[in-house]
Structure 1
């Protein structure tokens, strides 16, 4: 899984979404993330088709929404997702939240079946706390590949990062720019200024240093390119430590159905 991907949450203008996916892939991105709940899988699929990049070179991920997590709905809606995306399989399918119709045994059993059928190449979960992850790992026959959660310098997720390292699964960061708040951080902008880089690049480089994959949403070419340049930014140990020391916990995504451990 490439360490930097294009996120598409709230990219709900079909043409803009298609263009952003095409632009990112032509620029060098090879990881695209979407979800049933985003309502843009067809537009993402159009972007995949428009880009002059072979399908096998793209890591494509989507998520099954909470209402669709009964076993029969997992199968039916995943087929719809594949049709909308214009692909035979996705590289990673996530359980979007441990909520709604989620039943660990039934839901993950359906994911195992899709994995065995070759319709998904990896099984993932999203917004899972460590105990949810451990339960999933016990139930699944397929390896648990990734957990996608909110991570950024203002929500550093030390416990989950340690858990992922201990149990050998990937962490994927959504909202890695704290929905734009990174641009208001004196620490991040100061570090960025010393590298002639943006605060966004600094946040993404910090995540990369932590071994966390980031999927920032971007629509315009300039923002897509700015995020891409983070791959060339190397932060010093002192700069990493400054970011580590940010004393703030600011969760940007906290729905009523989120895990109890967040309360």
Structure 2
């Protein structure tokens, strides 16, 4: 598996997103993904599947230290004390001794960021997490989090696909030597895949449109993608993106699609997103 190296962390550039996957199906998909070569699993305290993800990891037989496991603390639990307890509970559910990466899932304007970042550092210092980071942080808030943290933050997990302009967040991640981890990396799929910039590249390389988009992600410096799928054949397809390379022209053509600036996940608790570049 190919990794990005960011602030001391080696993060596999393709991971398995597990949101909405639950029970035996989740465990089986995790184990199958690991058998295909996945070495990065992403979950969260509110996904209600951490125990299933942990079971899939154990069932796979892949050594624990070979797999990069990320989970997240929900926005209501990011105050000092609450955040540490959330991390402990996630470890119990996963049946792990330590996390590879713990993220603040969403910022919370009701809870001062300084306290949350201090608590995140405490989790790292205690050994509960090897690395720490954030999720859904726009660029100004990300810069503030980086400034407040004693330990380096290694990732900002955000919605990112060719239809969404994340230029400013990406620049902020690069400035801090952080990975930008893309959730919903394929957008909603069908509309995106119909774009000539993607379809033409797929024909040229003999790959699927999804593979073209995932290759676009991982060819960006510090780029990581965590596609989710309930289909085993799609899991194999999503990780088979390392035997070809998009040209500079193809990368530019796909990147131009960001002018649509279509965001899929905009919640009532979302922060003020960056304006398009």
TM-score scaled by structure 2? Answer: 0.90
Contact 1:66 1:100 in 2 (8 A): no
- Which of these residues, 228, 232, 239, is aligned with residue 221 of structure 1? 232
State the Cα deviation string for residues 213-232 of structure 1 (Å, max 9, x = none). Answer: 00000222101001011232
Contact 2:19 2:228 in 1 (8 A): yes
Q: CA deviation at 1:101?
A: 5.2
Aligned Cα root-mean-square deviation (Å): 1.5
Tell me, yes or no, if structure 1 residue 70 matches structure 2 residue 79: yes
Q: CA deviation at 1:100?
A: 6.2
Residue matched to 1:15:
24
CA spacing shift, 1:230–1:75, aligned 2, 3 Å: same
Which region of structure 1 is more displaced relative to structure 2, 153-162 or 22-31?
153-162
Tell me, yes or no, if structure 1 residue 230 matches structure 2 residue 241: yes
Q: CA deviation at 1:184?
A: 3.3
Tell me, yes or no, if structure 1 residue 58 matches structure 2 residue 67: yes
State the Cα deviation string for residues 39-60 of structure 1 (Å, max 9, x = none). Answer: 1111101111111210000000
Counterpart-to-counterpart distance in 2, 1:100 and 1:26: 41
Contact 1:205 1:234 in 2 (8 A): yes
Counterpart-to-counterpart distance in 2, 1:200 and 1:97: 27
- Which of these residues, 248, 262, 274, is aligned with residue 250 of structure 1? 262
Tell me, yes or no, if structure 1 residue 205 matches structure 2 residue 189: no
Write 1 or 2 for the structure with the bigger share of strand.
Answer: 2
- Which of these residues, 166, 178, 195, is aligned with residue 169 of structure 1? 178
Tell me, yes or no, if structure 1 residue 187 matches structure 2 residue 197: yes
Q: CA deviation at 1:202?
A: 0.6
Q: CA deviation at 1:186?
A: 3.2
Counterpart-to-counterpart distance in 1, 2:180 and 2:273: 18
Secondary structure at 1:146's aligned position in 2?
strand
Secondary structure at 2:264's aligned position in 1?
coil
Residue matched to 1:32:
41
Contact 2:139 2:274 in 1 (8 A): no
Contact 1:34 1:40 in 2 (8 A): yes
Q: CA deviation at 1:146?
A: 0.7
Counterpart-to-counterpart distance in 2, 1:221 and 1:167: 36
Tell me, yes or no, if structure 1 residue 129 matches structure 2 residue 138: yes
Q: CA deviation at 1:187?
A: 2.4
TM-score scaled by structure 1? Answer: 0.95
CA spacing shift, 1:117–1:44, aligned 2, 3 Å: same
- Which of these residues, 70, 81, 97, is aligned with residue 88 of structure 1? 97
Counterpart-to-counterpart distance in 2, 1:223 and 1:100: 38
Secondary structure at 1:245's aligned position in 2?
helix
Contact 1:62 1:92 in 2 (8 A): yes
Q: Map 1:82-121; keep pairs closer than 5 Å.
A: 82-99=91-108, 102-121=111-130
Unaligned runs of 5+ in 1: none
Unaligned runs of 5+ in 2: 1-10
Q: CA deviation at 1:132?
A: 0.9
User: What is the number of residues matched between the two proteins?
Assistant: 262
Counterpart-to-counterpart distance in 1, 2:262 and 2:272: 17
